[in-house]
Amino acid sequence: MKLGAIQKLVQKVLGNHALMASLVQQAFAVLQFVVAARCLTPDALGSWAMFLTLISFIEMARVGLIQAALVNFFAKHEVSEQSMIGGSALGLSLMFSVGSSVVLALIGFALRQVWLLPELPGLLGSYIGIGVLIAILRWFDAVQMARMEFGGILRGSWIFGISYLAFALTYYFVYSGLTPWVLLMLQVPAFVCTILLRKNSIIRALAAIRVRWDWIRQIWQYGRFGLGTNLSSMLFQRVDVLLLGAVATPAALAAYNIATRLITWLDLPLNAVSQSIFPKIAAEYYSKGMAAMTQKCEEATAQLLSIAIPLTLGTFIGAELLVYMLAGDRYPEAATFLRILVLAGLAKPWGRLLGLALDASGQPQWNFRMVNFSLIVNLVLLWVMVRWMGVTGAALASTLGIFITTISGRLYFLRRIPMSGIRTLHAVWRYYKGFGTSLR
């Protein structure tokens, strides 16, 4: 085996700040859930898992609202105009965060008798203020992404992740326990640490911003499709948890959430490449046209598949071990859910890159429609299979829905964005063949 090949691969990954930033964010999210799974009671973990599911709608909707718009408008306008674009995006982001957090808190209070999670309304109410702090950090990440300053995003991810974990573990050992409310409140000192350690760049960015209502309107006009797409996508991914919250016990909901959290390990490369590839394929489309963008999307899909295939196989074989490593021996049924859910990892790269291609080529409305179609299919499958098979039916419906809608989307947009499945699979084989040859 040639160590040089492995060293080059490691250096390439470590040198890609965009990839590393996304990997660090996802890895810390998993580590934080490990702490919660081992320190909370099963019922408290069920409440915390439902809370994380609900606020993920706000987080992803806000990303969809401003991120693609900033990338698009920064690419088209001079630096002198970018301060007004960025400032207007921040204003819109803060308004959206407060409004959506209030609505979510009201929904949680109204449905407190349906979900039977007594701690949930209080958590959602407390998030209204904390969501504003997180919105500022995510806005700064979006600005740096639009400028392709991925190194700054990586530093911020490390600082926030390490700070939050350090505070959580310190509190646990000092007070011999954690609660969902404490886990939420500990985001405040983590936010303060991030601001203090990055104060020069963040304060400089805040000092330069200007807000203009016409730019807020333009960002909204562009970003509303991304907002709707991300909301529909999150519903597609999380509607099983929302439905199970009404029909399953908090402990069963916690076991299912453990399986879904483990799936985030498979999504690490998917999310990382998606974050880094979007500005590049957008620039490729505007500078060289559809053919060049399509080729880059095929290459990205092949990269994702070359990683997803062995990860899917390894997760399927070692499901019990992974569940034990994450949450101990209290949730053995999570391994069955994990084996079913992990199979969808073979379809996700195709669907994700198709959606990015639609957004990058100025067709976000089509991506929005495609995700809504996926949501409808998933809802129908869930309604049938949960009533038939319970929690296991939710896992089967989610995986089957991803395969059905991905294949349908690829066929429908074949002429509009002619990505070739054959060329993509050949590229996957070349990755494996080239890696195997380099290790001899």
- At position 365, the amino acid (one-letter code) is Q
- Segment 311-339 mean pLDDT: 89
- Tens of pLDDT, residues 255-310: 888 898 888 777 776 776 676 777 777 777 777 777 777 777 788 888 888 888 88
Kindly give the residue spans of alpha helices, DSSP state H, lying in 116-212.
120-146, 150-175, 180-185, 187-197, 199-208
Burial label for 11, CB within 10 Å (0-12, 13-18, 19+), is exposed
Q: Is 272 within 8 Å of 23 (Cβ atoms)?
A: yes
At 203-222, the pLDDT tens digits run: 777 766 777 888 888 888 88
Higher-confidence residue of 6 and 152: namely 152
Q: What is the pLDDT of residues 19-59, one digit of tens each?
A: 677 678 777 887 888 888 888 888 888 888 889 888 988 88
Q: So what's the pLDDT on residue 330?
A: 83
Instruction: Check residue 15 and give its pLDDT.
Output: 45
Please report which confidence band the pLDDT of residue 11 belongs to, taking 50, 70 and 90 as the band edges: very low
According to the model, what pLDDT value does residue 435 have?
A: 61
pLDDT of residue 5: 43
Q: Six-digit token pair at 170?
A: 């310190």
Q: Which two tokens stand for residue 187?
A: 């985001």
Mean pLDDT of the chain: 81
Q: Which pLDDT band, with edges at 50, 70 and 90, does 165 fall under?
A: very high
Whether the CA torsion 154, 157, 162, 163 is positive or negative: it is positive
Query: How confident is the model over 345-401, as pLDDT tens digits?
Result: 888 888 888 877 787 777 777 877 887 888 888 889 988 888 888 888 989 998 999
Q: Tell me, what amino acid is at 348?
A: K
pTM above 0.85, yes or no: no
